[in-house]
Structure 1
Amino acid sequence: MIRIVNSYVQTIPNVRFAGIQYGDEDRVNGGFGEQWGEWFQSNRFEALEALINEEFKSSYEDAEAYIGMMRYKDGEPFQYWIGMFLPENAQIPSGYNFIDIPEAKIGACWLHGPEHELYCNEEKCADKLKQDGLELMQDEEGAWWFFERYVCPRFTEKDEEGQVILDICHYVK
């Protein structure tokens, strides 16, 4: 069973999110796990990790995490991006796309449970943030942006119960 074990507001500085965009047509068995596997097999994160300097690492907690960024708007194709937040002026390597994101506040929820049960709980986390008194934010086009944040060792090392923590983050006002 999954549970939210922490929720808080965090400010993220101006960043350049770099990655590769996928859509519903790219899902395998309902998710994007196959694409994540391809990223690790192809060492795609290495080119992005090389762009993270010490100043950026210290600019906010969990700056070095892998990100599963999502964009949702009624009537438009769903977007799922795999990538990382980088310094705002990072030169993006060939083969990656990017989105410049201004300084923003996020509501972060830590979901604890068996890894396979943690995915697709963005709404549960949104509800928790609303209960905490936060208002979720849409972009200027009316789309919702939110992301999975894979933080080591929270996500990579199982606890004594064989469970991990996945961060789900929503942009908030």
Structure 2
Amino acid sequence: MAIMVKAIRRESCPAARLIGKKYQGAANWGEWWENDWFTTLEQNPCLPFNGDAYIGGVHIVDGMPERWIGMLFPVNTEVPEGFESVDIEPMEYAVCCLYDQENSSDFYTMDTHNMCLEELKAHDWKRKEDDWCLERYRCPEFTTPDEAGNVILDYAISIEISEE
């Protein structure tokens, strides 16, 4: 089975502080598991938009992608030693619920990103260029495969708010 968008919905996220680690190249999830860094972050209450998920995020800074791994917290949350943060303005997101086999690399391709952009167009939503795209790894949707061996990854794309 090929990856599919099982559902799409619009969600609001208030002003947020993404606390984690910043990467100029590929994000290194392996070091997060090896160093048990999420345990440190889980000591503070997350924003409801974050839920119980771990976040992989990317946005464009000075024409280059800046990648993050971490969690979303209220903007006044203190940053634990050894971590970095970036504050994110209140934002609307189109959240595509991507459905595919556990460990599928198709979750992370430009083809999948473009498929989600087409879904946005079908809903008359416009991507907020160069702003945040977030992978939200929720439990149990992403961690426990269904009877077909599939999981769901939330892929949130920041969208423009139309003035109506």
TM-score range (shorter-chain normalised) is 0.7 to 0.9
Q: List alignment gaps of at least 5 residues for structure 1.
A: none
- The share of aligned pairs that are identical, in percent, is 30
SS at match of 1:154: coil
Shift of 1:104: 1.4
Q: 2:150 aligns with which of 159, 163, 169?
A: 163
Q: Which residue number in structure 1 is paired with residue 134 of structure 2?
A: 147
Residue 17 (structure 2) pairs with residue 16 (structure 1): yes
Q: Which residue number in structure 2 is paired with residue 71 of structure 1?
A: 59
Q: Which residue number in structure 1 is paired with residue 37 of structure 2?
A: 44
> Which whole-Å CA distance do the structure 1 matches of 2:12 and 2:57 have between them?
17
The correspondence of residues 1-173 of structure 1 with structure 2, limited to 5 A, is 1-24=2-25, 27=26, 32=27, 35-52=28-45, 56=47, 59-60=48-49, 62-72=50-60, 76-114=63-101, 115-116=103-104, 117-120=106-109, 121-138=112-129, 143-173=130-160
The C-alpha deviation readout for 1:43-94, integer Å capped at 9, x for no partner, is 10111111116xx4xx44x523111101136x72221111110122100012
- In the alignment, residue 22 of structure 1 is paired with which amino acid? Y
| TM-score in terms of structure 2 length | 0.86
Shift of 1:6: 0.6
- In the alignment, residue 114 of structure 2 is paired with which amino acid? E
- In the alignment, residue 157 of structure 1 is paired with which amino acid? T
Q: List alignment gaps of at least 5 residues for structure 2.
A: none
> Which whole-Å CA distance do the structure 1 matches of 2:72 and 2:7 have between them?
22
> C-alpha root-mean-square deviation of aligned residues, in Å?
1.7
- Counting matched residue pairs gives 155
